[in-house]
Amino acid sequence: MHTTPHTGFPANEAEVAAYLERHGQKDMLRFLTAGSVDDGKSTLIGRLLYDSKMIYEDQLATVIEDSAIHGTTDTDFDPALLTDGLKAEREQGITIDVAYRYFSTDKRNFIIADTPGHEQYTRNMATGASTCDLAVILMDARHGVLEQTRRHSFIASLLGIRHLAVCINKMDLVDYSQEAFERIREAYEGFAAKLEDIDLHFIPISALRGDNVVDSSEHMPWYQGGSLLYYLETVPVSTDRNLIDMRFPVQVVLRPDLNYRGYSGTVASGVLRKGNDVVALPSGRRSRIASITTFDGEIEEAFPPMAVTLTLEDEVDISRGDMIVHPNNRPHVAQDFEAVVVWMNDEPLTLNGSYLVKSTTNLVPATVTGLQYRFDVNSLHRVEADTLHANEIGRLQISTHRQICFDAYSRNRSTGCFIIVDRNTNATVGAGMILDREQPAQPVNSTAEPKSTHITREASGVSVVERETLLKQKSVTLWLTGLSGSGKSTIARDLERALFDRNQACFILDGDNIRHGLNRDLGFSASERTENIRRVSEVAALLNDAGLIVITSFISPYREDRAKAREIIGGDRFVEIHVDTPIEVCEARDPKGLYKKARAGEIAQFTGIDAPYEAPETPELTLKTSESPVEKSTADIIAYLEEKGLVSG
């Protein structure tokens, strides 16, 4: 049979060209249908396709034939069979997988995701919702708000869908009663009050009979809100799309010859323009966009979801998984984050288990380090749990083996979502939405005024001199700096024991320990390293005020940061000690295996490999651990302290 729509497309070539041009300029709305089993989701989509004249004649003939065998409506036409494509679905009369359908009107193009209603297919529903702008939530007018209604509404809200068209279906089975409609509407509004930032629109419909689906119903004159199709055509969703935060995850680096280096990928959000200043993350290298190219040639600007290739004015080391952004509008760059995760695997979540996390174009090893709670989707309460089973939703803490770039899902869906992959089977086991997190404190000048205005600095009733006299020592900070593996921590611990055995009151501030507590919110970008050292300096200054000798063990790679530390602590009680060990020696030691991971690309911005170390120019003391044992370094430090009169001989 010749396949044409049952109303016919334009007949000649000119009309076809005009038709395609007109429809190509329309915007796209992606929406899903969700609700409990037998609420009529597939029937509704079939009715939309049929009444909008988007069914081909041979499709319609097949559906009419199948309606006599598999139909559930006691009519010669069951609209649900237009979308229930799987044999198992037709035989059971339910939707199992996510069925995608396309249709178009004069005002808009549409992609529909028909999602399953059964609880055991919640994960499929989450998959369908992940790319949608709007959700159509169906309820049976005879049954009202059910468990799956609440579940799907909650998942839609979690996935950032802000527009919900709540359709009370099968109104023909309750005699088109306004009272029944209002009762269900009131019950749903009571539940939806717990959901965040959603726009509700209620429509009474009969998907089987076509009431208020495409055309307004004559059976419900009390409803004046327009049909479902009218709402879908007019609901504003373009403002929901993020055109502010420029994010370009690099998928492929193109090197067809020695003279060309292009970075290909899909624009995730924002707008890229030729000549824009950009920064590559996580390296932090800056440049400017030299060209933007598509399959059809060079263009001046690009926006989501265009696939383009960028070239930059400078030679910048960028690889797959890196992200090109605006210098003054950056995503988070970190290894740790929290997320709401829909667990999709029949095997339960393994806490502290090793998985892969795929975020934008990045695929990195990761560990699920914590499960804060599981959601009870019926009450929206938080429930204590030690694992997640299939179709359950919980809040997880995740640590990746190297830094990734991300935004909060509430701000940017493209860069705030990820999937969890089983490392053994390569199966997708979870889908997550990254939660907002506090920005790390920015580096500040120690002489700047604090942000709080109603505070005063209080002096202690006991002076520093009195404390030093009591302890028979001078308060001082011994600042050990050097590469990872240089021996800083080993020397610090040996020195602490030696001083303690001499009855000197001392305390170690170690880099790893500090990052487990005080500075656990900081990553390893240049600004976060600076803030890490600033906080440590403030703590060291307080401990010195208490009369203690402070021993710090930090890479502290930047001279400027160490200069600020000296300023905060005080030049008269700051002793810079350079643990000067060649990088080849440090890498041969590699006590934590960090150099090996950095060489393998598992750790980004590792000092000495792909991040700089600025050695001290005039340290008070230099220790050569490749030439002398730890005991010699400790003895040299104590000798220096005695010489300067900081400790008694």
DSSP state of 486: S
pLDDT of residue 649: 67
What average pLDDT score do residues 51-60 get? 57
Whole-angstrom Cα distance, residue 103 to residue 49? 7
Domain 13-240 has CATH 3.30.230.10: no
**3-state class (DSSP) for residue 218:** coil
pLDDT of residue 624: 92
Whole-angstrom Cα distance, residue 615 to residue 551? 19
Using pLDDT thresholds of 50, 70 and 90, give the confidence band for residue 198.
confident
With contact defined as beta carbons under 8 Å apart, do 197 and 208 qualify?
A: no
Q: Is 161 exposed, middle or buried (0-12, 13-18, 19+ CB in 10 A)?
A: buried
- Joined together, the tokens standing for residue 265 give 């990928």
Q: Which CATH class is domain 247-325?
A: mainly beta
Q: Which residues contact 42 (CB under 8 A, 6 or more apart)?
A: 33, 79, 80, 81, 82, 83, 84, 95, 99, 114
Nearest CA to 525 among 357, 404, 416?
A: 404
Nearest CA to 485 among 620, 625, 619, 612?
A: 625
Q: Is the pLDDT of residue 442 over 90?
A: no
pLDDT of residue 276: 93
With contact defined as beta carbons under 8 Å apart, do 253 and 280 qualify?
A: no
Q: At what angle do helices 122-129 and 147-158 cross, to 10 degrees?
A: 40
Q: What backbone phi and psi angles, to 5 degrees, belong to 606? A: -90, 125
Whole-angstrom Cα distance, residue 364 to residue 465? 53
Q: Is the pLDDT of residue 73 over 60?
A: no
Cα radius of gyration rounded to whole Å, the chain? 32
Report whether the peptide linkage leading into residue 305 is cis, meaning its omega lies within 30 degrees of zero.
yes
Does an H or E element contain 599, and which? helix 594-599
Nearest CA to 155 among 344, 436, 377?
A: 377
Q: Which CATH class is domain 464-643?
A: alpha beta
Domain ranges of the chain: 13-240, 247-325, 332-434, 464-643
Q: Is the pLDDT of residue 543 over 90?
A: yes
- Joined together, the tokens standing for residue 102 give 């396309």
Q: Is the pLDDT of residue 446 over 70?
A: no
Whole-angstrom Cα distance, residue 503 to residue 110? 78
Using pLDDT thresholds of 50, 70 and 90, give the confidence band for residue 86.
very low
pLDDT of residue 77: 55
Nearest CA to 638 among 497, 526, 431?
A: 497
Q: Report the sign of the C-alpha dihedral through residues 68, 74, 78, 80, in that order.
A: negative
Q: What backbone phi and psi angles, to 5 degrees, belong to 73? A: -110, 0
**Does the reported pTM lie above 0.85?**
no
What average pLDDT score do residues 517-523 get? 79
Q: How far is CA 562 from CA 234, 522, 554, 580, 637, in A?
A: 59, 18, 10, 16, 19
pLDDT of residue 62: 55
With contact defined as beta carbons under 8 Å apart, do 634 and 591 qualify?
A: no
pLDDT of residue 482: 92
**230 or 52, greater pLDDT:** 230
Q: Is the pLDDT of residue 343 over 50?
A: yes
- Joined together, the tokens standing for residue 71 give 């139909």
- Joined together, the tokens standing for residue 234 give 């007019």
What average pLDDT score do residues 60-84 get? 53
Q: What would the DSSP string read from start to end of 261-327?
A: -EEEEE--BS-EETT-EEEEETTTEEEEEEEEEETTEEESEE-TT-EEEEEESS-----TT-EEEBT
The predicted-structure confidence for 421-434, as pLDDT tens digits, reads as follows: 998 899 989 989 99
Whole-angstrom Cα distance, residue 140 to residue 182? 13
The predicted-structure confidence for 213-271, as pLDDT tens digits, reads as follows: 988 999 999 999 899 999 999 988 765 677 788 999 999 999 888 889 999 999 999 99
Q: Is the pLDDT of residue 4 over 50?
A: no
Residues making up the chain, counted from first to last: 649
Query: Position of tokens 């030049």?
Result: 571
Query: Picking from 103-117, 341-355, 532-546, 606-620, which range would have the lowest pLDDT averaged per residue?
Result: 103-117
CA dihedral 95, 101, 104, 107 (to 10 degrees): 70
Whole-angstrom Cα distance, residue 142 to residue 569? 73
Nearest CA to 336 among 300, 371, 367?
A: 367
Q: What's the gap between Cα 578 and its chain centre? A: 39
Domain 332-434 sits in CATH at 2.40.30.10
User: Distance between terminal CA atoms of the chain?
Assistant: 104
Query: Position of tokens 């539940």?
Result: 191
Nearest CA to 160 among 201, 195, 116, 121?
A: 195
Nearest CA to 342 among 394, 409, 412, 416?
A: 394
Does an H or E element contain 179, and which? helix 178-192
With contact defined as beta carbons under 8 Å apart, do 80 and 42 qualify?
A: yes
Mean pLDDT of the chain: 82
Q: Percent of the chain at pLDDT above 70?
A: 82
Whole-angstrom Cα distance, residue 2 to residue 15? 20
Angle (CA) 84-90-94 rounded to 5° is: 70
Q: Which residues contact 137 (CB under 8 A, 6 or more apart)?
A: 34, 35, 149, 152, 153, 156, 164, 165, 166, 167
The answer to whether 13-240 and 464-643 have equal CATH topology is yes
Q: Is the pLDDT of residue 505 over 50?
A: yes
Q: Is the pLDDT of residue 280 over 80?
A: yes
- Joined together, the tokens standing for residue 392 give 């359950």
Q: Is the pLDDT of residue 56 over 80?
A: no
With contact defined as beta carbons under 8 Å apart, do 388 and 394 qualify?
A: yes
The predicted-structure confidence for 548-574, as pLDDT tens digits, reads as follows: 999 999 999 888 889 989 999 988 899
Using pLDDT thresholds of 50, 70 and 90, give the confidence band for residue 287.
very high
Q: Are strands 163-169 and 134-140 parallel, antiparallel or unpaired?
A: parallel
Q: Is the pLDDT of residue 120 over 60?
A: no
Query: Picking from 38-52, 70-84, 397-411, 432-446, which range would have the lowest pLDDT averaged per residue?
Result: 70-84
